[in-house]
Amino acid sequence: MAKKKSAEVSEAQIAVHWQEEELIHPSPQFVSQANMTDPGIYERFSLDNFPECFKEYADLLTWYQYWDTMLDTSDAPCWKWFVGGLINACYNCVDRHLDKYKNKAAILFVPEPEDEPHAAVTYQELYVRVNEFAALLRDFAGLEKGDRVTLHMPMVPELPVTMLACARLGVIHSEVFGGFSGQSCGERVADSGSRVLITIDAYHRNGKLIDHKVNADLAVEAARKSGQIVDKVLVWSRYPGQYHSASPPVEGRDFMINDVLADYAGARVDPVRMAAEDPLFLMYTSGTTGRPKGCQHSTGGYLAYVAGTSKYIEDIHPEDVYWCMADIGWITGHSYIVYGPLALAATTVMYEGVPTYPDAGRAWRIAERLDVNIFHTAPTTVRMLRKAGPDEPAKYDYHFKHMTTVGEPIEPEVWRWYYDVVGKGEAAIVDTWWQTETGGFLCSTLPALQPMKPGSTGPAVPGIHPVIYDENGEELGAGTGKAGNICIRNPWPGAFQTIWGDRERYVDTYYAKYCRDKDSKDWRDWPYLTGDAALLAEDGYYRILGRIDDVINVAGHRLGTKELESAALTVEEIAEAAVVPVVDEIKGRAPDMYISLKPGFEASKETETRVVKAIEEMIGKIARPKHVHVVPDMPKTRSGKIMRRVLAAISNTMDIGDVSTLANPDVVEGIRVLVQGEGKVALKKGPEDIARFGDEG
Ligand code: PRX
């Protein structure tokens, strides 16, 4: 049964957290050099000109053959863009820049140890490395067009080299964030049907050289249990010629890439001409059930969309030094470190490590040293840097013309520090709202055309036409002060094509709710459900309030509560587990875990430790709960459902509301005391996403 959730909130309630903010205009210096200063772009990308408007983005690319159909809706809601077109993503990101830019840096790599020199990979060097590795993938690993290969790699230049080599061959890459556990990686290997896994021996993080190859052994084993055999593990070396892992290479299965590459020195591989609609990559993300979804992104549509948005929203020119601090293991890194910037012949910076090691000045030293002028990060990092070193940016001589925030709502006071201190009052900021599924930005200001509003993502980007629906499918227009489910009316080229191997889940999750006619081939009948609640101000700027499903946005990354709960339930003594979001000063939200024990077991510190360990092993450290509360019983409805809303209210010291209709109202006070201590604490008016969390409607 579909969950019914009420997202209706009055403006007065929201104003507790969000006041109308003043508008801030970009500087004339920014505007005078911006890629997009023509307000006519909105008219060109209006619904009247849909879908032909997207030719403007596709024309930023080099095609072997133009498409004959701009948008094919015959398999609705699996939209096909640029049908008949032939293109190669690697060619567009590398080869075509050689004439003009071969000696320009494509990638600047900053290792974590500050005494290790930066590496500049020129476009020519990238071309050579990608070709040699593509030859290895084809001739040594036997990979061909349409095969899937899983990458479990950290932030090293070999990661984009691997992605581009796959793209050159038409092999579908599925990069799993390096911080995910071997077990998580193995599940994704199995789901995607990869028989090759590409990894590295080790990488630096927070002052330690982390052994990463051990995860490959766990991943191969986890995949085998799910019926997928990995026959080759290809291992890059953090330091070629050395080996920094306690796990020895497995004879006949594991191969050190640098050794094998010697056979392919000087090799050249013709880029494979791909249909625009052929998949380029998979990117897994969390949903409401425990199983992650492999979002399948296309070649032509995706690349056109990220090139267009990189040019106009990120304002990237080939002369710029652009630094997005995200990890390539997430969609932000795919779209806005690798594919978008490289399609535009930019210099893209990647760094190894964490923002605050060895100290809170590191980011600004990097910016100064490399003369970065476009900076891109998430609110969680801004909060972290603000806390650890509020005065650090002023000590360094760098100047950003443009900055991005992405991944979660940013509080206006955090936005102001970003603007005044990090951006030194000079940089235009874009607050970009989008998702793994959407490939690229959905909402943001066009930086030279519209003023910034702290805490608001801005209007929709050109060619995106959002609509906010209430539960009954009525539109909530501008200035109504009511929040609802934000949807996108129209398809766009960057949108994912389906969930890998699960079209039904794709349709159910993203289209079923507001579809007007399931047999329709008209895109107008298929609004895309983003899964976020939002409201639209009078001036056309959207405010994103957060997820409407059981997904917690931790430090800008999505974690499904079901994934955490299933991991906890693998601990023998645990009978029930429930996860709720708790407000966290740095991460925005963090998971709070409630567990109850099977009869005969006593609450102990060891149980808590085992839960944390199970989560780290099955998902990864990013999912570590903030607290583990062992409770005698869970608050439940009469039908036996755990009332997560009550637990969320307790974790966040918010009003618990009426619990008299529960099956066991008496347990609530006991849990409250356990979490908040004896005595009454002052209640907070918590944020709206938490107030609604787990609401059974
Ligand atoms: O809830 C929204 C939030 O992050 C979710 C998407 O997460 P993910 O697929 O991991 O992609 C993150 C990077 C694009 C959204 O459903 N979100 C993303 N950007 C913003 C945001 N919330 C508010 N403001 C944003 N700028």
CA–CA dist 86, 82 (Å, integer): 9
Q: Going by CA atoms, what residue is nearest to atom 5 of ligand 1? A: 435
Owner of token pair 């003369």: 371
Whole-number pLDDT of residue 8: 46
Task: Report pLDDT digits (tens) over 280-314.
Answer: 999 999 877 778 899 999 999 999 999 999 999 99
Distance in Å, CA 294 to ligand 1 centroid? 17
Average pLDDT over residues 362-376: 98
Residue 180 contacts by C-beta under 8 Å, 6 or more apart in sequence?
152, 329, 619, 620, 622
CA–CA dist 528, 320 (Å, integer): 34
DSSP annotation string for 111-169: -SSTTSPPEEEEHHHHHHHHHHHHHHHHHTS---TT-EEEE---SSTHHHHHHHHHHHH
Q: Are 558 and 285 in contact (CB under 8 A)?
A: yes
Average pLDDT over residues 116-135: 98
Q: Are 427 and 401 in contact (CB under 8 A)?
A: yes
Cβ–ligand 1 contact at 332 (below 6 Å): yes
Whole-number pLDDT of residue 693: 82
DSSP 8-state code for residue 419: I
CA–CA dist 32, 186 (Å, integer): 49
pLDDT exceeds 80 at position 690 = yes
Whole-number pLDDT of residue 429: 98
CA geometry: angle at 435 spanning 484 and 55, to 5°? 105
Distance in Å, CA 484 to ligand 1 centroid? 16
pLDDT exceeds 60 at position 440 = yes
Query: Which atom of ligand 1 is nearest to 285's Cα?
Result: 9
Q: In which band, very low, low, confident or very high, does the pLDDT at 18 lie, cut at 50, 70 and 90? A: low
Average pLDDT over residues 66-79: 98
Q: In which band, very low, low, confident or very high, does the pLDDT at 234 lie, cut at 50, 70 and 90? A: very high
Task: Report pLDDT digits (tens) over 661-680.
Answer: 899 999 999 999 999 999 88
Check residues 549 and 228 and name the one with the higher pLDDT.
Answer: 228
CA–CA dist 589, 559 (Å, integer): 11
Distance in Å, CA 229 to ligand 1 centroid? 34
DSSP annotation string for 433-449: B--GGGSS-SB---TTT
CA–CA dist 596, 603 (Å, integer): 9
* End-to-end Cα, the chain, rounded Å: 12
Q: Treating both helix axes as pointing N-terminal to C-terminal, what angle do 605-618 and 182-192 enclose, rounded to 10 degrees?
A: 40
Distance in Å, CA 445 to ligand 1 centroid? 16
280 is written with which tokens? 């380029």
CA–CA dist 400, 397 (Å, integer): 10
The H or E element containing residue 628 is: strand 627-630
Task: Report pLDDT digits (tens) over 245-254.
Answer: 999 999 999 9
If you count them, how many residues does the chain have?
697
The H or E element containing residue 56 is: helix 55-58
Query: Which atom of ligand 1 is nearest to 332's Cα?
Result: 13
Compute the half-sphere exposure of residue 531: CA atoms within 13 Å on the CB side of its CA: 20
Residue type, 188: R
Provide the sign of the torsion angle of the four alpha carbons 449, 452, 457, 459, taken in this order. Answer: negative
Distance in Å, CA 242 to ligand 1 centroid? 39
Pairing between β-strand 498-499 and β-strand 293-298 as defined by DSSP bridges: antiparallel
Cβ–ligand 1 contact at 532 (below 6 Å): yes
Whole-number pLDDT of residue 689: 85
pLDDT exceeds 70 at position 1 = no
DSSP-based three-state secondary structure for 646: helix
Owner of token pair 């081939």: 521
CA–CA dist 565, 573 (Å, integer): 14
3-state DSSP of 62-121? CCCECCCEEEECCCCCCCEEEECCEECHHHHHCHHHHHHHCCCEEEEEECCCCCCCCEEE
Rounded to a whole number of angstroms, the CA Rg of the chain reads: 25
Choose which residue among 282, 496, 553, 554 to substitute to test ligand 1 binding: the one with the highest number of ligand atoms within 8 A of its C-beta: 553
CA–CA dist 572, 244 (Å, integer): 34
CA–CA dist 388, 90 (Å, integer): 39
